[in-house]
Amino acid sequence: MNDTDAKNKTLTKRAIILIILIGVIMTLSVIFIIISGRYSSDRKTATIYVDGSVYMTIDLLSSDDTIIEVTNSKGNINHIQIKDHNIRMLDSDCKNGLCVSQGWADNSLVPIVCLPNNVVIITGSKITENGGNEYDAISY
């Protein structure tokens, strides 16, 4: 009897430790999401990556409204639209179309990613030599 009680106590303790760990992950994630939402307004450049390398960098402040057609190495086609100094995935021939439903880039800090076609749009605040984004270094 006492043995089972002691065992249950240990297990409850272990569960509480794990629940605290989950709580910490949850809190950090929510804090990060809130903070990233605040810094989302000053997007000035957009870099389009195709098959993992820089396809082109666009200065959103000076660019006119246009539609860019991007073809990856497998021949998949994505259309990227620039309008009112904002950028979005207009359409994609990928199956799930999640990149299109992500909408305009200024809605969040999250890059627009089309995983099936390997097309990524990252917006940043300044143009740098490696193609304009907020990361210190990107290696390929």
Partner 1 sequence: MTRSHTNTKRLAVLGLFAALAFGIYALESLIPNPIPIPGIKLGLANIISLIVLKKYGLRDSSLVLTVRLLLSALLFGSLMSLLYSAVGGFLCIFGEYLINRFLHGKFLPVTAILGAILHNAGQIAVAMIITGTPGVIIYAPYLAVAGIITGLLTGLLAVMVLKLIPGELFS
Q: Write out the residues near partner 1 by the rule CB under 8 A.
A: 7, 11, 14-15, 18-19, 21-22, 25-26, 28-30, 32-33, 36, 49, 51-53, 96, 98-99, 101-103, 109-111, 113, 115-116, 118, 120, 122, 133, 135, 138, 140
Least CB distance to partner 1 at residue 15 (A): 4
Q: Long-range pairs for 88-92 at CB < 8 Å and ≥24 separation?
A: 88/112, 89/114, 89/119, 89/121, 92/117, 92/119
Rounded to a whole number of angstroms, the minimum distance from the CB of residue 64 to partner 1 is: 26
The least distance separating partner 1 from the CB of residue 26, rounded to whole angstroms, comes to 5
Closest CB to partner 1 among 25 and 67? Answer: 25
CA angle 102, 105, 107 (to 5 degrees): 80
* Distance (Å, whole) CA 88 – CA 60: 12
Question: Which residue bears the tokens 């990233």?
Answer: 36
Cβ distance to partner 1 smaller for residue 66 or 134: 134
Q: Which two tokens stand for residue 113?
A: 């990613």
